[in-house]
């Protein structure tokens, strides 16, 4: 075939570098965004972190009922108290206010030693520390190390003693009785009961430390050793009748068993709790729901004026470099503003749609899809998906990921639709209210 030239008209979507950057920033979580911006500031001399005249106030609980109509601190520019109204309702008592900016490290001062948190210790480390303080022989210490390594996070010994015996061989040839002797010592470390092989042994070890005159102790030991399964299956009253014991004595024994810890290892945490910083906050002011970006959720950048003034005064090569860096800095700042605007618009749309949830709880959650929000805001569904992934909204009912407010609809007998989240909340309420001894038959549940 002979090659020819043809002219053809058409339209196609072209992703410019600025648009690609805005899309990428939108899908980042708050922590990822902070890391991205720190890297940009380090690599671009025309960028710097914008310093506020006053430190951003953090949202912390305040006494209930104080200044109920005051907007939360950290309201961003453009989010005035006269912004979108989301419907009437009662005033919640949950407001929060400034905690101040008293971080000593932020002023270049070293944190006092007494304020430095200790390194977290896990269960194994806690037990090994006590083992080293015990007056045991080197042989028993080696056996104790092997036993502690086989204890799981709940405090239970995993596997039979034969596995411990095999793990010690050939360096140490120990019989089962010797291993069990060291195990009994470990079971009386703190937390008491750690190293037990089952629930019965765990509870019996804890009972062994109680005073002999403890009410119900003898029967509690008997039930713990032989009748735990029967207690769960029959209940206290029927088990008391079966064993020929007074109901009052059985109640004392059961109360004693309930006061024990079935998972002693869970007392020792392997690390510190992790907290979620919300991206937006929903609050009620004057009887209507409003949304603002959370303080500190949107890092702010500025142009470095010193380097900007060098443009036109430097050499040709340096001048070209500074101009390109200035353009990139402006694009990044514009993309950040677009991200903030999109997040707050999406959050407001969610609050508008799910005001029933904010007023009445999960049972009032309505079906909501990405398409509904996209059509309302005039955005694409993919944009809404990026804006709701790993973004969090703080409400009087807790902090939730944006995606929590989206759920499919299930048709009802009345021709409407109910949210799957609302149905789950109704089922959970029914299950919590039922008698565990005589649960509801599924065919007899009431209809909603």
CA distances from 293 to 14, 55, 73 (A): 31, 16, 10
Q: What is the pLDDT of residue 295?
A: 83
Q: What is the pLDDT of residue 292?
A: 93
Q: Are residues 256 and 224 in the same domain?
A: yes
Q: Are residues 213 and 129 in the same domain?
A: yes
Confidence of residue 298 (pLDDT cuts 50, 70, 90): confident
- Whether residue 325 lies inside any domain: the answer is yes
| Residue 311 φ/ψ, nearest 5 degrees | -65, 130
Q: Which two tokens stand for residue 352?
A: 């508008």
Q: Name which residue leads in pLDDT, 18 or 271.
A: 18
**Rounded mean pLDDT, 300-311:** 90
- Whether residue 96 lies inside any domain: the answer is no
Confidence of residue 142 (pLDDT cuts 50, 70, 90): very high
Q: Which two tokens stand for residue 386?
A: 């990026």
Contact predicate 329/41, CB 8 Å: no
Q: What is the pLDDT of residue 425?
A: 77
- Whether residue 107 lies inside any domain: the answer is no
Contact predicate 123/153, CB 8 Å: yes
Q: Are residues 341 and 385 in the same domain?
A: yes
pLDDT tens per residue, range 309-364: 888 888 888 889 999 999 999 999 999 999 999 999 999 999 999 998 898 888 88
- Whether residue 85 lies inside any domain: the answer is no
Q: Are residues 137 and 259 in the same domain?
A: yes
Does 406 score more than 60 pLDDT? yes
Q: Are residues 333 and 213 in the same domain?
A: no
Taking the chain, what is the end-to-end CA distance rounded to the nearest angstrom?
A: 71
Average pLDDT over the chain reads: 80
Q: Are residues 164 and 253 in the same domain?
A: yes
pLDDT tens per residue, range 51-91: 754 444 444 333 333 343 444 544 443 344 344 444 443 33
Q: Are residues 128 and 262 in the same domain?
A: yes
Q: Which domain holds residue 135?
A: 123-267
Does 108 score more than 60 pLDDT? no
- In sequence order, which ranges of 72-175 are alpha helices (DSSP H)? 123-133, 138-149, 161-168
Element (H, E) at 309: helix 305-310
Q: What is the pLDDT of residue 269?
A: 61
Q: Are residues 349 and 394 in the same domain?
A: yes
Q: Are residues 260 and 128 in the same domain?
A: yes
Q: What is the pLDDT of residue 361?
A: 83
Contact predicate 72/285, CB 8 Å: no
Q: Are residues 136 and 245 in the same domain?
A: yes
Contact predicate 36/44, CB 8 Å: no
> How many other CB atoms are there within 10 angstroms of residue 230's CB atom?
14
- Whether residue 103 lies inside any domain: the answer is no
Q: Are residues 255 and 346 in the same domain?
A: no
- Whether residue 69 lies inside any domain: the answer is no
CA distances from 153 to 128, 185, 264, 390 (A): 14, 19, 9, 29
Q: Are residues 417 and 387 in the same domain?
A: no
Confidence of residue 416 (pLDDT cuts 50, 70, 90): low
Q: What gap in Å lies between CA 433 and CA 150, rounded to an integer?
A: 40
Does 110 score more than 50 pLDDT? no
Of 244, 267, 290, the position where a domain reaches its end is 267
Q: How many domains does the chain have?
A: 3
**Rounded mean pLDDT, 137-141:** 93
Confidence of residue 112 (pLDDT cuts 50, 70, 90): very low
Confidence of residue 414 (pLDDT cuts 50, 70, 90): low
Does 385 score more than 70 pLDDT? yes
Confidence of residue 434 (pLDDT cuts 50, 70, 90): confident
- Whether residue 108 lies inside any domain: the answer is no
- Whether residue 368 lies inside any domain: the answer is yes
pLDDT-above-90 percentage for the chain: 50
């Amino acid at each position: 075939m002979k090659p020819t030239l043809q002219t053809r008209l058409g339209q196609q979507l072209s992703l410019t570098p600025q648009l690609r950057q805005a899309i990428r920033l939108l899908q980042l979580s708050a922590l990822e965004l902070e890391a991205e911006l720190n890297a940009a500031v380090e690599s671009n001399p025309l960028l710097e972190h914008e310093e506020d005249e006053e430190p951003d106030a953090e949202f912390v609980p305040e006494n209930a009922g104080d200044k109920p109509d005051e907007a939360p601190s950290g309201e961003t520019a453009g989010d005035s108290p006269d912004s979108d109204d989301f419907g009437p309702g009662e005033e919640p008592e949950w407001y929060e206010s400034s905690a101040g900016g008293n971080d000593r490290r932020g002023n270049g001062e070293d944190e006092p030693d007494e304020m430095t948190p200790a390194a977290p210790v896990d269960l194994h480390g806690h037990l090994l520390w006590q083992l080293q303080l015990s007056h045991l022989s080197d042989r028993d210490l080696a056996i104790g190390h092997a036993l502690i390594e086989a204890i799981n996070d709940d405090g239970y010994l995993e596997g039979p003693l034969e596995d411990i015996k095999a793990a010690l061989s050939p360096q140490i040839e120990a019989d089962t009785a010797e291993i069990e002797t060291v195990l009994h010592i470990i079971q009386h470390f703190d937390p008491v009961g750690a190293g037990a092989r089952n629930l019965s042994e765990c509870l019996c070890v804890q009972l062994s430390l109680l005073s002999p005159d403890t009410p119900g102790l003898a029967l509690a030991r008997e039930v713990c050793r032989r009748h735990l399964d029967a207690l769960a299956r029959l209940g206290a009253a029927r088990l008391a009748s079966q064993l020929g014991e007074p109901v009052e004595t059985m109640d004392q024994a059961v109360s004693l068993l309930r006061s024990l810890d079935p998972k002693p290892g869970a007392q020792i945490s392997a690390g510190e709790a992790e907290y979620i910083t919300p991206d937006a906050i929903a609050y009620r002011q004057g009887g209507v729901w409003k949304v603002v970006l959370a303080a500190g959720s949107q890092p702010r950048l500025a142009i470095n004026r010193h380097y900007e003034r060098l443009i036109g005064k430097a050499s040709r090569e340096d001048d070209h470099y500074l101009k390109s860096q200035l353009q990139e800095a402006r694009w990044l700042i514009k993309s950040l503003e677009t991200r903030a605007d999109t997040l707050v618009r999406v959050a407001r749309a969610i609050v508008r749609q799910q005001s029933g949830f904010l007023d009445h709880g999960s049972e009032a959650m309505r079906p909501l899809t990405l398409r509904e929000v996209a059509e309302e805001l005039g955005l694409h569904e993919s944009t809404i998906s990026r804006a709701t992934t790993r973004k969090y909204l703080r409400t009087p009912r807790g902090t939730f990921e944006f995606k929590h407010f989206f759920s499919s609809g299930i048709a009802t007998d009345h021709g409407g639709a109910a949210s799957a989240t609302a149905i789950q909340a109704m089922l959970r309420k029914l299950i919590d209210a039922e008698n565990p001894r005589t649960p509801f038959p599924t065919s007899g549940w009431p209809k909603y």
